[in-house]
Structure 1
Amino acid sequence: MRVLMFGWEFPPHISGGLGTACYGLVKGLAHHNQEIIFVVPKLWGDEEPLADFVNASDVTLDYREKKFKSIWKNLTYLEVSSFLVPYLGPEEYQKFTDYAIHDRTDVDESIFTSKYAFSGKYGKNLMEEVSRYALTAAQIARDRDDFDIIHAHDWLSFPAGIAAKEISGKPLVAHVHATEFDRSGESVNPPVFEIEKAGMEAADHVLAVSHLTKNTIVKKYGIPAEKVSVLHNAVLDASIIKSKYQKKVPEKIVTFLGRITFQKGPEYFVEAAKKVIERDPNVRFVMAGSGDLLNRMIDRVAELNIASKFHFTGFLKGDDVDHMYAISDVYVMPSVSEPFGISPLEAVRHNTPTIISKQSGVAEVLVNAIKIDFWDIDAMADAIFALLHYRSIAEMFKELGSQELKRLKWEHVAEKLVVAYEKTLSERS
């Protein structure tokens, strides 16, 4: 089978879990001898050659064709006033965006040049690039008809998937890694919501990264349940990492690693830290990441008078992330709404006992972790205290967690994906 796949990023140039998931799926599909044409807005040249990559910035577009004009006329874009990353909380979204929907006739003529140099990032022209990416997708689908099915990852690529389907007539699979409700709670951004809804409605089949996400798709977007299947994420490498990196402090370390936004529940982590420190002052808490709630969390830590035991590292990447997992005695992911959440699996790879919220997709597949409601700071504090002070419990989770990783591989996920492809193709025929 040959798959035309649209993404927005691919390792090593990524801003979050979406690129990592795309990499894992492509690698898993290659394991099952599936051929992938992977399209991204911009290639950097150092991507691992796992697929037949297409750089959208190199595609020549003849927008004068009637079909292309029809596609463009139906596209809108959101004017973004400043830097934008893919998963923003409501406050960050309000800060960075201008909800001005522009008529297509007002767009600068440069959009219609024969080639368009995509930034490949999440900058101020993001929605403009999403629209242009859709036109480029139509051109690619017309020029390369040697594929069987289209696969589009998340809202950034949904317009591209729709355009490719309109041109080629091939079936579309829409892969939902996160919804606007996950990113923003109930304060959803209407244009993004509409793009997501249009993508799911146009798709022949919808993939959700968890049952939690499927439930949101059915209830909030009105997509029939039978049209949606669940495809959990996995880990790139199931082996346990034995790091030589040693912590430099005598106290136990408890870590939160992720975006400091509403979705990730950082405030609950801070409140639980206060309760643990009251019982045992020989514990240090680390909040690694950045986001719109960072300053509020710093202020709250000061108000609780635990600043001497609480550390903010800022955004971590590469080896620094591995080092953070390695020196942590407990990892906590208290997400309010997490479509999946791959970081607990990475913590398990580093032999770090893990606490996760019940409101996360990863809770559906990670059996050997302590699961609490994100809002229950007493239960969170008790779980942290138990893992720090009862060695046998911590060791049990380490041992069982390492065994559990072996069944959470991308090739297993890809096998299920191939079945979903085949089912979609058979229903279309």
Structure 2
Amino acid sequence: MKVLMFGWEFPPHISGGLGTACYGLVKGLVHHKQDIIFVVPKLWGDEEPLADFVNASDVVIDYRERKFKKIWKNLTYLEVSSFLVPYLGPEEFKKYTDYTLHDRTDVDESVFSNKFEFSGKYGKDLIKEVSRYALVAAQIAKSKDHDLIHAHDWLAYPAGIAAKEISGKPFIAHIHATQFDRAGEGGGQGPVYEIEKAGLLAADHILAVSHLTKKVVIEKYGVDPNKVSVLHNAVLDASIIQSSVRKNVPEKIVTFLGRITFQKGPEYFVEAAKKVIDRDPNVRFVMAGSGDLLNRMVERVAELGMGTKFHFTGFLKGKDVDDMYAISDVYVMPSVSEPFGIAPLEAVRHNTPVIISKQSGVAEVLRNAIKIDFWDVDAMADAIFGLLHYHSISKMFKELGSEELKKLKWEHVAAKLVTVYEKLHQEQP
């Protein structure tokens, strides 16, 4: 099967779980002999050559072609003044400064070019780049032979729709996070929601990363349940990592590693930390990451008098992430709404017991973990205290977790996806 796949990032240039998931899925599909054409706005040249990569910045288009004009007329164009990444919380999404739907018959042609230079990042012109990416997608769909179209998350949905307009091939929308995950119940409005909804309704099939996400897609976007499949994420390597890194402090270390935003529940981690430290001051807490709630968390830690026991590392990547997992005695993911959450699986790979919220997709596949409601800071504190002080409990979760990882490989996920591909391909008229 030849699959035309649209993403927004690919390792090693990523901002979070989206790029990591794309990498794992592509690697799994290649293992199953699938032919993948992977399109990104900007290639950096150091991507692992797993697929036929297409750099959207290199594609020349003739936007005056009739079909391209029709596509452009249906695209949403808006100005954005804030720094954006795919999974932001409510504060960032309030920073939209202008949302204007233009008639494409008289739009200023300064937004057009025969060749677009994409930043490949998430800056102030993100939505404009999303629209331009869709035009490039149409050109690629016209010139590249393919059987199916597969687009990852809202950033690539307009591209998927445009490609389908040109080639008529089945379009699969892969949803890794919804606007309701990013902005809570207020997510059902605004441009990103509209882009998401248009993509999900236009898709011939939808892949959700959890049953939790499938439920949101059906209830909040009015999607037919019969066209939604659940495809859980996995790990790139199921083997346990034996790290030589050693911590330089005598205390136990409890870690939060992720974006410091509403969705990830960092405030609950801080409140639970206070309860644990009150019971045992010989524990250090680490919050690794960046986000719109960082300053508020620093202030709250100061208010609670935990400054000497609570550390903020900033955004970590690569080896620094692995080292953080390795020196941690407990990993906590207290997400308010987590479509999946790959980080706990990576923590298990480093032989670190995990505590995860029941409001996460990973809770559906990671059975050997302590699961709590994100808001229950007492239960979170008790779980942390128990794992730190009862060696037999911690040892049990480490052993069971390592066995469970063997079932969570991208090759297994890709095998399920191939059956979806084949079914859609056979149903073509």
Corresponding residue for 2:146?
A: 147
CA 1:322/1:235 → structure 2, altered by over 3 Å: closer, same or farther? same
Task: Report the CA distance between 1:108 and its aligned residue.
Answer: 4.5
* Range moving further from structure 2, 25-34 or 75-84: 75-84
Q: Residues 23-422 of structure 1 correspond to what in structure 2 (within 5 A)?
A: 23-95=23-95, 97-103=96-102, 104=104, 107-144=107-144, 146-188=145-187, 189-422=189-422
Once structures 1 and 2 are overlaid, which stretch shifts more, 390-399 or 308-317?
A: 308-317
User: Which amino acid is the alignment partner of residue 182 of structure 1?
Assistant: D
CA distance in 2: counterparts of 1:92 and 1:196, whole angstroms: 17
**Moved >3 Å (runs of 4+):** 104-108
Task: For 1:98 and 1:276, locate their aligned partners in 2 and report how far apart those are by CA, in whole Å.
Answer: 43
- The answer to whether the 8 A contact 2:88-2:261 is kept is yes
Partner of 2:229: helix, strand, or coil? strand
Task: Provide the rounded CA distance (Å) in 1 between the counterparts of 2:79 and 2:186.
Answer: 18
How many angstroms apart in 2 are the aligned matches of 1:409 and 1:99? 43
Instruction: State the shift of 1:190 in Å.
Output: 1.3
Q: Which amino acid aligns with 2:161?
A: I
* Residue 5, structure 1, aligned to residue 5, structure 2: yes
Aligned counterparts of 1:53 and 1:316: Cα–Cα separation in 2: 27
How far residue 116 of structure 1 moved from its aligned partner, in angstroms, is: 0.7
Structure 1-normalised TM-score? 0.98
Cα distance in 2, alignment partners of residues 99 and 187 from structure 1: 18
1:301 Cα shift?
A: 1.1
- Distance in 1 (alpha carbons) for counterparts of 2:98 and 2:378: 40
Deviation per CA, 1:365-384: give whole Å up to 9, x if none: 00110000101111111100
| 1:121-173, Cα deviation, whole Å (9 max, x unpaired) | 111111111001111111111112x2111000000000000010011010000
TM-score for both structures, normalised by structure 2: 0.98
Name the aligned partner's letter for residue 128 of structure 2. Answer: E
Q: Distance in 2 between matches of 1:262 and 1:116?
A: 34
Aligned equivalents of 2:97, 2:350: Cα separation in 1: 42
Q: What is the Cα deviation at residue 93 of structure 1?
A: 2.3
Q: CA deviation at 1:83?
A: 2.0
Which secondary structure does the structure 1 equivalent of 2:286 belong to?
A: strand
Deviation larger for 19-28 or 300-309:
300-309
Report the secondary structure of 1:98's partner residue: strand
1:93 and 1:201 mapped to 2: Cα distance? 23
- Output one character per residue of 1:93-125: Cα deviation in whole Å (capped at 9) or x when no partner: 224x32422524675434322111111111111
Paired residues of 2:89 and 2:261 also in contact (CA < 8 A):
yes
The CA distance in 2 between the partners of 1:362 and 1:106, in whole Å, is 47
Distance in 2, matches of 1:283 and 1:33, equals: 49
Q: CA RMSD in A?
A: 1.1
- SS of match in other structure, 2:240: coil
Q: Which residue of 2 aligns with 1:15?
A: 15
Q: Which moved more, 1:73-82 or 1:354-363?
A: 73-82
Residue 14 of structure 2 aligns to a residue in which SS? coil
SS of the residue 1:313 aligns to: strand
* Letter of the 1:90 counterpart: P
C-alpha spacing 1:394/1:174, structure 2 compared with 1 (3 Å): same
Where does structure 1 lack aligned partners over 5 or more consecutive residues?
none
Q: Residue type matched to 1:172 in 2?
A: F
Give 1:401's aligned amino acid: G
Relative to structure 1, is the Cα distance of residues 57 and 281 closer, same or farther in structure 2, using a 3 angstrom cutoff? same
CA deviation profile, 1:263-301 (whole Å, cap 9, x unmatched): 000111111111111111111111111111111111111
**Offset, 1:18:** 0.6
Q: 1: distance between equivalents of 2:34 and 2:350?
A: 31
Q: Distance in 1 between matches of 2:124 and 2:225?
A: 35
Secondary structure of 1:311's partner? strand
Q: How many Å apart are 1:427 and its aligned residue?
A: 2.8
CA contact (8 A) 2:99 2:191 kept: no
Between the aligned residues of both structures, percent identity stands at 80
> SS at the partner of 1:187?
helix
- Mapped to 1, the partners of 2:55 and 2:183 lie a distance apart of 31
- Any idea what SS the aligned residue of 2:244 has? coil
**Which deviates further from its counterpart, 295-304 or 223-232?**
295-304
Paired residue type of 2:58:
D
Distance (Å, rounded) in 2 between the aligned partners of 1:63 and 1:36:
26
Separation (CA, whole Å) in 2 of partners of 1:107 and 1:383: 57
What are the ranges of 5 or more consecutive residues in structure 2 without an aligned counterpart? none
